[in-house]
Structure 1
């Protein structure tokens, strides 16, 4: 009876394996950003990484797996950046920090933005709408002292509207690299803080 060698997902990764997986995720982000989901084939990932397709398959069992890992890597960087900004800002300024850091991070990392969009359109994962608006809704609730008391439905709607505005600003920046996203972020913040209930 032959025993197959343990795959990376079956054990703790070595430093070299972690570095290679990180490289493959970065290569995949670049390919998806440059060529779209369809253009990020296993052969293209291998070629850009300077390794064989078999070596890619050693680390990830399929194209979907490497794309999913790259997507999670990009989302992790975004969440870490936004989370640090929100934490540093305090409760009253949490929504402003969320808007500015979300737009700022995606402005500074347009390839990440394209990766997120492509993975959402072509990926197999289900995306719950509440996963997008609830974190901002919680920040809006925590900032009640400056935003005024609101119903949960009002907070949800404000979070959805604000999230849509962020998405639109980021999309506009992808289409027009000269678009001033910092000014747009400030305007969104002004609208959020000016929309106190009557």
Structure 2
């Protein structure tokens, strides 16, 4: 199990601990993408990382927590990449275009992460058997997208519409773009994203 200080948050993780956790998550992503969620045991992840299973157990309470941390890690990477590209954009049109194009650009170079996320989303369950990452887990994303659409309405760039409906549609379009690319790797992801930009800009103007 993790140390008491680490679990309670009283003691910040050292650089070495952070590096080890990153190593474990990277191996988890590779293993899940290769063999699937069900076969991705802690023992197999440890073997891939070149460490003992006990090292994983020290840093993570179990497979479920490791999976949740993998999702957080991947999404943090996406957010950092996209927000950095959005910085300096002064229009809602620019923000909308940048979001759609850069999220595709980032995942194009991280296909293994995308495959691992798909496995986790479809298989990780709460104690009652319901999906850990169901529709209710998207609230933060919906709110961030709504801010873009409301900004566009406030500046007069966008027409009046239900921003929650548009945010849900936006998120679903991106999810399905990635799902299609996962099934058909030869699909032009960047061209798909450019087409989405045109679709959404025509929808909101």
- TM-score bracket relative to the smaller structure: 0.7 to 0.9
Count of residue pairs the alignment pairs up: 192
1:62 alignment counterpart: 62
Which residue is 2:106 aligned to?
Answer: 105
Shift of 1:70: 1.3
2:164 to 135, 149, 156: 156
What CA RMSD, in Å, does the superposition of the two structures yield over aligned residues?
A: 2.2
SS of the residue corresponding to residue 160 of structure 2 reads: coil
Decide whether the 8 Å contact of 1:86 with 1:95 is kept in 2: no
CA deviations over 1:51-85 (Å, ceiling 9, x no partner): 11112111112111212111111111011112222
**Structure 1 runs not aligned, ≥5 long:** none
Partner Cα separation in structure 2 for residue 7 and residue 53 of structure 1: 21
What does residue range 23-42 of structure 1 map to in structure 2 within 5 Å? 23-42=23-42
Structure 2 segments unaligned to the other structure (5+ residues):
127-131
Distance 1:22 1:149, change over 3 A: same
CA deviation after TM superposition for structure 1 residue 21, in Å: 0.9
Q: 8 Å contact 1:94–1:139 — kept in the other structure?
A: yes
Q: Deviations over 1:14-70 (max 9, x none)?
A: 222221111001111111111221121110011011111112111112111212111
**TM-score, reference length from structure 1:** 0.86
Q: How far apart are 1:188 and its partner, in Å?
A: 0.8
The list of structure 1 runs, each at least 4 consecutive aligned residues, that deviate by more than 6 angstroms after superposition, is none
Q: CA deviation at 1:168?
A: 1.6
CA change 1:100–1:19 in 2 (3 A) is same
Q: Normalising to structure 2: TM-score of the pair?
A: 0.83
Distance in 1 between residues matched to 2:171 and 2:111, nearest whole Å: 18
Kindly indicate whether the alpha-carbon contact (under 8 Å) linking 2:149 and 2:158 is maintained by their aligned counterparts in 1: no
Structure showing greater Rg: 1
